[in-house]
Chains A and B, each alone.
Chain A
Amino acid sequence: MSICIEEQSTDARSARERVELVLSRLDQLPTLPAVVNRLLAATTSEDSSVRDIVEIVESDASLTAMLLRMARRADLGVRADTVTVSRSVSLLGFTAVRNAVLAVKVFECFASPHGTPQTANECRSQWVHALAVACTADLLAQQVNQRERAGEAFVAGLLHDVGKMALYACMPKAYSRVMADAQEQGVCVCDAERKVFGIDHTIAGKHLGTRWDLPRALVECIWLHHQSWDSLPSSVVDPLLQRLVHTADGLVRLRGLGSSAYCSPEPGDQPEDDPLFTDEVVQHVMHDFPKRFDPIVEMFDLSGPGGEAVCSEALFEANRKLSQANARITEENRLLVSRVRVLEALHRFHGMLHGRESVSDVCAACVLCLRGLLSSDGMLLYLGDRRGRAVHAAVMQPQREEADRLYVEIGDLSEVTMVCRGAGAGFTPATELDAKVWTRCGVGDPTRPRWRLVIPCGPDAVVVLVVATDESQIATLGCSNADLDGLASAFGAAIVSSRSRVESERTTEEVVDLNRRLRGAQGELLRMKSLSMIAAMASGAAHEMNNPLSVISGRAQMELARRDDPQLRESLQSIVDQTNRATGIVNDLMAFAKPNPPKPVRLLLGELLEKRRQHCEAALGLIPDQLAVSVADPETTIYADPIHVRDILDALITNAVEAADMDSIQVKINSPSRRSDETVRIVVEDNGSGMSRDVLAHALDPFFSHRPAGRGRGLGLSRAQRLTEINNGRLRIDSAPGHGTKVTLEFPAHA
């Protein structure tokens, strides 16, 4: 300072002239565009809206461009092509917009058309410093509870050294000298400036600010930012603002905030302890500074190298995206290839089937098909019914060309519910049940790792494909679960259709058989019906005959009581006898037609047959041994009406005796050992001449008698059969000419 005073006194006029010169130079700088003022006013005013700001911004093309660029760079998740000014303004906020506009516009003024890299660098340094101070001032304001002033503080900080920038812009060489002097001589910049220019940057700044019509508080800040707080003129409009900026400036320089090239502390930059800004405040500010500073620096594109970086970054990004796309395509391609393989396999599978194979065949085809896709140490496909105990299995032993077909009993298939839940999950690890079936079917080595693929086959069946192979094989197969699902479904459908076809074939066979039996039963029924009809007719006729017979008999009896003539009496008696006989026939017919309902009881076979033998022997006048009885187990019982059985046996024995060879009658009655628990057989055999086929066909017809001589009533066999049937038994006659006749009775053993 002393130097300047000295000089001033001797060179006062030239000094003042020099000042004027400088000032006039400064005047040559372009004015701050009106837009900036308007924007300043708008952003600080409380009733301006986004629309106002947008209008202002859009009125200036370069502002618009800059704002849009900032919005993109702000990395606010905005897509590059949808950014509009209004969105940018909304996103960035008024304050940011103002600060940005201001900074840019102001510094644009100083952009020299022929900027060298040094000047560009220098500009940047000034920017950075200004931003640092602005941030610091902002933070300070917040820390001392002057939040609402923070914005203003920011602006003030931003513009505080505008004088320097102006001087540098106007007279770069001179200013460089100033800088050099300051550094060499260790004087503060202001002094050096005054020496060279006659004014220092604060005055220059004030001058410029006034010219630009900046708000008074701001101008004063620019002018007085080097004054400490207790030496401010009292006419200062906003002392706080000044204090904020001053402290901020000092802090930046002292603490190296922002690390701009411009931060070398100046002598006289000792922190005069401003009571407003305590150490604590300073600490907070220091702490918060990077958070505030870094984004802003980035927003103004000051941290990085510049345009080329953006370009290369874009290129890099594009490259990255391209490689991603490439990877995706490769992956899809791979999936498609595997899908094609699966489809080819399916095609082969369908080629193997021709629509008439059994379930085992289909299973074998499935296994063969999969073998074409996957190499393994053995494959097994088993098919079980939920309710059953056995499974169809198709086994592909390793190294074989054909699949073996098996049908094995596994036992309880109750795991089935668990098993079926695997469908649709691709290859899953095999279960206990799989291991069991695997071992039972004797496939390869059971301890190898196994995978299973569940094949959906409807709710009742379970079909599982089990493979002994490594995980790597499955991976190389490369099929997605969807593809495997498709394959499994195709297998499942084929199996289901073959099963249902097989089932329908079984059903058809059963139907045919049932049909056949039905015909037999119908024939039987018809015979019985006709027999019943005959019987009913016979019974009706018999009943009718009773009346005339009664009259004949009665009248004859009455005459008998009256007449004495012995011949006449004989005649009449004969009449009575014959009517009785006729009545006998009639009764037989009626009994035949409607036998008494059976009252079955348990009869001991041995006892029964012996009694009949005795009775018939006596009744038919046989000698012993002509009628022989043999019973395998005399304790056997039959369940039938005793009277009926008696009549049946008597009729049969009588017939047999009559048919037997007259010279040596041999009739055998025997009961062979039982074939089943349900029935007991009794056989009556004779050694007669037997019956020819025609005779045999009619043997059971009522009143049919082939006997040439003698006349039986002809009802014996028919009645015997009828009685047998109503006791739930069966009667069968076997006879051949020359071989005698054998009648087999079958009675139920118990109720």
Chain B
Amino acid sequence: MADLRSKQVFTTGEVAQVCNVSQQTVIRCFDSGRLQGFRVPGSRFRRIPRDALIAFMKNNQIPLDQLDSGRKRVLVVDDDEAIVEMFTELLERDGRFEVRTASTGYDAGILTEQFRPDVILLDFKLPDINGNVVCRTIRSNPNYEHMRIIVISGVADPDEIRELAAAGADEFIKKPFDINAVIDRVAEMVKVA
């Protein structure tokens, strides 16, 4: 059961389990195209990717709690270890969040795809790439439309803030910060999502 939360590809049986329907229904949905998926090459087995499953479930108003732990997923991106550790501890201790971390823009990109965070806490100055580029890349992908981006930075240049907003950031937090304020803001954002 616990696997389901991190599984990326499902069999028709697993889908049936998650959706609380019979396997036959799943097969029929699969064959009719209402459930997207693929066949294992060289065999007749059907496979359903996670996002297809989620989309299907959402379309048919099937509750997602079996797939989902209910916790919001937060991706923390910062190259400073101490900051990252602090955030992770802060957010996990709160209990409402599931946290993954990345220290470079590249890792951030990969994790965004894998982890599908609801909120990204993004440090502006990353070693390999600028924060606003990351913003823009994420925003350019329609699949990530629902993700909220909060940029955290030491700089308070109004021009830069404007730039970031234009690039797609939803929020801006200055370092150092009030931790409670941060938590509240994060929670607020994901409620909307």
Query: What is A's interface to B at a CB cutoff of 8 Å?
Result: 542-543, 546-555, 557-558, 561, 579-580, 583, 586-587, 590, 594, 596
Known: A546-B154, A558-B89. A551 touches B80 (CB 8 A): yes
Q: Which residues does chain A contribute within 8 Å of B93, judged by CB atoms?
A: 558
Q: Does A547 lie within 8 Å of B154, measured CB to CB?
A: yes
A-B contact count (CB 8 A): 55
B33 to chain A, nearest CB (A): 50
A557, A579, A590: the one contacting B179 at CB < 8 Å is A557
Known: A548-B82, A550-B83, A555-B86. A543 touches B177 (CB 8 A): no
Bound Cα distance A663, B156 (Å): 42
Q: Does A543 lie within 8 Å of B176, measured CB to CB?
A: no
Q: Which residues does chain A contribute within 8 Å of B125, judged by CB atoms?
A: 543
Q: Does B21 contact A (CB under 8 A)?
A: no
Q: Does B82 lie within 8 Å of A551, measured CB to CB?
A: yes
Q: Does A558 lie within 8 Å of B86, measured CB to CB?
A: yes
Chain B, Cβ-Cβ closest to A545? B154
A370 to chain B, nearest CB (A): 76
Q: Does B156 lie within 8 Å of A551, measured CB to CB?
A: no
A352 to chain B, nearest CB (A): 73
Q: Which residues does chain A contribute within 8 Å of B157, judged by CB atoms?
A: 594, 596
A542, A546, A594: the one contacting B176 at CB < 8 Å is A546
Q: Which residues does chain A contribute within 8 Å of B156, judged by CB atoms?
A: 587
Bound Cα distance A550, B175 (Å): 6
Q: Does A554 lie within 8 Å of B176, measured CB to CB?
A: yes
Q: Does B158 contact A (CB under 8 A)?
A: yes
- A and B contact pairs by CB, cutoff 8 A, 6 listed: A543-B125, A547-B154, A550-B154, A558-B89, A558-B93, A590-B155
Sample of 11 more A-B contacts, CB < 8 Å, known A547-B83, A550-B154, A586-B154: A542-B154, A543-B125, A543-B154, A546-B175, A547-B175, A549-B175, A552-B176, A554-B90, A554-B177, A561-B179, A587-B156
Q: Which residues does chain B contribute within 8 Å of A552, judged by CB atoms?
A: 176
Residues B59-99 near A (CB distance < 8 A): 80, 82-83, 86, 89-90, 93
Q: Which residues does chain B contribute within 8 Å of A547, judged by CB atoms?
A: 80, 82-83, 154, 175
Highest count of chain A CB atoms <10 Å: which of B89, B90, B175: B175
Query: What is B's interface to A at a CB cutoff of 8 Å?
Result: 80, 82-83, 86, 89-90, 93, 125, 154-158, 175-180
Chain A, Cβ-Cβ closest to B81? A551
Q: Which residues does chain A contribute within 8 Å of B179, judged by CB atoms?
A: 554, 557-558, 561
Bound Cα distance A557, B87 (Å): 12
Bound Cα distance A548, B177 (Å): 12
Chain B, Cβ-Cβ closest to A562? B93
B95 to chain A, nearest CB (A): 13
Bound Cα distance A558, B176 (Å): 13
Highest count of chain A CB atoms <10 Å: which of B86, B154, B175, B176: B176
Chain A, Cβ-Cβ closest to B80? A547
Q: Which residues does chain A contribute within 8 Å of B175, judged by CB atoms?
A: 546-547, 549-550, 583
A577 to chain B, nearest CB (A): 12
Bound Cα distance A543, B174 (Å): 11
Return the 4 tightest CB-CB contacts between A and B, nearest first.
A546-B154, A550-B176, A553-B176, A550-B175
Bound Cα distance A542, B156 (Å): 12
Chain A, Cβ-Cβ closest to B154? A546
Bound Cα distance A558, B94 (Å): 11
Bound Cα distance A748, B97 (Å): 56
Bound Cα distance A548, B180 (Å): 18
Q: Does B86 lie within 8 Å of A549, measured CB to CB?
A: no
Q: Which residues does chain A contribute within 8 Å of B154, judged by CB atoms?
A: 542-543, 546-547, 550, 586
Bound Cα distance A583, B89 (Å): 23
Q: Which residues does chain B contribute within 8 Å of A561, judged by CB atoms?
A: 179-180
Bound Cα distance A547, B158 (Å): 20
Chain A, Cβ-Cβ closest to B179? A557
Q: Does A557 lie within 8 Å of B178, measured CB to CB?
A: yes
B89, B155, B176: the one contacting A549 at CB < 8 Å is B176
Q: Does B158 lie within 8 Å of A579, measured CB to CB?
A: no
A318 to chain B, nearest CB (A): 112
Highest count of chain A CB atoms <10 Å: which of B154, B155, B158, B177: B154
Q: Which residues does chain B contribute within 8 Å of A550, judged by CB atoms?
A: 83, 86, 154, 175-177
Chain B, Cβ-Cβ closest to A549? B176
Highest count of chain A CB atoms <10 Å: which of B155, B158, B177, B180: B155
